[in-house]
Amino acid sequence: MSGRRVSDLPVGTADARLPYSKGLMARALMGTGLAPERAYELARLIETALHEAHGEGAVTQEQVYDAAAAVLGEHEDEQAVRRLRRYQGLQEIEKPLIILVGGATGTGKSTITTEVAHRLGITRVTSTDFVRQTMRAFFSEAFMPSLHYSSFEAGASVSPAVAGSEDPNLRGFLDQTRNVLVGVKAVMERALTENHSMALEGVHLVPGMVPSSLDGAIVSQCVIAIPDEDVHARHFLVRDADSEGVRPVEKYLNALPEIRRIQAYLLERAEEAGVPVIENSDREGAVDAVLRLVLDTFERVAGTP
């Protein structure tokens, strides 16, 4: 896959003969959706199979994947083998992969996106909030007011006369989103120009407003959601502890009704646009679901057997 480093592959380039790496093989298996513990266990079995077939000699990437497919077929199932072959194809295709992960504040999309990118060997990961922060440095509040508020507070940038009968918070969020997506589209175009893969997450990746396909790239889009309000609230408590108070929990808990309204809007738009919604009931399950979605998208777009 374009944008990957040679060292991210289990044995280097397809025609190279290099030592087998259990760690890199495990990450490849994790890239198919297997849990880390299971991936490392199978990586050891693959090492044994390679040793039995090739002794201490170096092996090619194709030989590694063939051995991995045989081990998965014996210890997992045909679906696991199929996902591995999709993953293999994803590493070899020349088109860049662009992963878009949307979702309301506090749904865990940043953590999930970072883990998915790591397992797929994607080194470029960014957020729409980073784009917003960058744009905010160039455009004053007087010129582009919505950029200077959090997504769930952007209603403060909308005057009652402009909002009319509309929900001012939703109106402000959409104004902010339209501005941020100008920068997002530039980031995606840069990825195409440089032919590198990237993962992008953020609340502004509203289905139907961000391109779901790009000529010359494979685009996989989804929305992360937390259906239960109490579970959503607990995410902010965890995040507050992890950030040591940098993102104070009271601010987000007080704004939870607005955040939940934005989530409801995102889910409505996802249904209209046919964008998959992935529930973050547990992190590993959500990561697995996003990985499978990426592999399914690759199969559909690239026509992998």
Provide the phi-psi class of 184: left if phi over 0, else alpha when psi is between -120 and 50, else beta.
Answer: alpha
Paired tokens of 56: 């201490």
Sheet holding 125-127, edge to edge: 125-127, 198-201, 97-103, 218-225, 277-279
Instruction: State residue 162 phi and psi, 5-degree precision.
Output: -75, -40
- Topology of 97-302 in CATH? Rossmann fold (3.40.50)
Per-residue pLDDT of the chain (305 residues; tens, 9 = 90+): 545 433 344 544 445 555 778 888 998 999 998 988 999 999 999 999 988 888 777 778 888 899 999 999 999 999 999 999 999 888 888 889 999 999 999 999 999 999 999 999 899 999 999 999 999 988 888 888 889 989 998 888 887 666 666 788 999 999 999 999 999 999 999 999 999 999 999 999 999 999 888 888 999 999 999 999 999 999 888 775 555 555 678 889 999 999 999 999 999 999 999 999 999 989 999 999 999 999 999 988 876 44
Length of the chain in residues, anyone? 305
117 contacts 227 by C-beta, under 8 angstroms: no
Burial (0-12, 13-18, 19+ Cβ within 10 Å), 246? exposed
221 contacts 205 by C-beta, under 8 angstroms: yes
Domain range list for the chain? 6-92, 97-302
Residue type, 255: A
Number of other residues whose CB lies within 10 A of the CB of residue 19? 10
Predicted TM-score (pTM) of the model is 0.86
* pLDDT at residue number 42: 95
* pLDDT at residue number 299: 86
